[in-house]
Amino acid sequence: MRWVRLVGYYVFTAGVLYLIFAYIGDFPARQSIVLAVVIAFLTRRLGQFARKPAQRFSPYYVTVRPNWPQLLTDFKLIDNREGWDVIEKSLEKLAPAEYSVVRDGLFFTTVQQSEDFQRTLIYWNSRRLFVSGVDLEEKVEPIKLERDKPVSRSRKYEVELFMRFGTRGYDLGIRVPEWWWNETKGSCPEPIIEDRHYPTGRVKLVLAIVPYREFDSYWEPVNRDTNDSTKWVQEINTRRDRERTKFDWTKVGHPDIPELSIDRPEYIEHKYFEVSHSAV
């Protein structure tokens, strides 16, 4: 286990240093112990900082656009296509600069990320702020769920679109009131995950997973042989395509425009979402 190796390292290193300080340097025992422990710790930490990374990261952006008519209809948030037409008309009243997740989707940029994924810096473009990870939620306006209570006035509950780090990839879905889901789930498709949060009385329904392998192309081996580029790209594409199939994503083709000297984003499509991404 990792912690056993770590303890063993400190014990061995501190022991050797103690012998050097106490018997060769003729330091007092207490001073030798303190110096040995401190130097063993610093040596380990400095070694970690000095270690060169095996991969080089390139920033990239991600855009998520839900297939709202399909999603809202399947999960009984609107009755039919006419209900979506009403929502579309309401969006026409919004100013172009006013953000709406229904009209604009989710948009973020992964600015920096460590190899162990423990340190991440995300710029949430939609909200113009920096966050330490992908855990994004937006209200799906103007969708409201109404619950009648016999002893009080009716109350309207919000629906939210979310994207978050998951165990296998980025989880995509909607967050709804638990009481509503309990009443409605029998007539809805089964989500991949039901994540209930009892203190708030809400449940997150994961409807799609964007596998992390989708973004492998933004990690390049530091010491990769330039003559081995084709093989490296093929390996990435093979792993990525396998994960796309596993999680029900398909590549969306777009016509090339030779006049544009920019890299075309990658587009993938799920029943409920379209995701595009590209290097910054």
Residues 106-124 have pLDDT tens digits of 999 999 988 777 788 999 9
Residue carrying the six token digits 């330039």: 226
Span 82-101, pLDDT tens digits: 889 999 898 888 898 889 99
How far apart CA 210 and CA 117 sit, in angstroms, is: 16
**pLDDT class for 215, splitting at 50, 70, 90?**
very high
Q: Which of 24-38, 57-71, 243-257 has the highest mean pLDDT?
A: 57-71
Position 151 scores a pLDDT of 46
Average predicted confidence (pLDDT) for the chain: 83
Stretch among 22-36, 174-188, 206-220, 257-271 having the lowest mean pLDDT: 22-36
Please report, to the nearest 10 degrees, the dihedral formed by the alpha carbons of residues 115, 120, 124, 129 taken in order.
Answer: -150
pTM: 0.75
Which residues fall within 8 angstroms of residue 194, CB to CB, at 6 or more apart? 181, 203, 204, 205, 206
Which residues fall within 8 angstroms of residue 183, CB to CB, at 6 or more apart? none
Residue 197 has pLDDT above 50, yes or no: yes
Position 261 scores a pLDDT of 47
**pLDDT class for 59, splitting at 50, 70, 90?**
very high
Position 73 scores a pLDDT of 95
Q: Give the burial class of 68: count Cβ atoms within 10 A of its Cβ; 0-12 exposed, 13-18 middle, 19 or more buried.
A: buried
Extract the tokens encoding 66. Answer: 């839900």
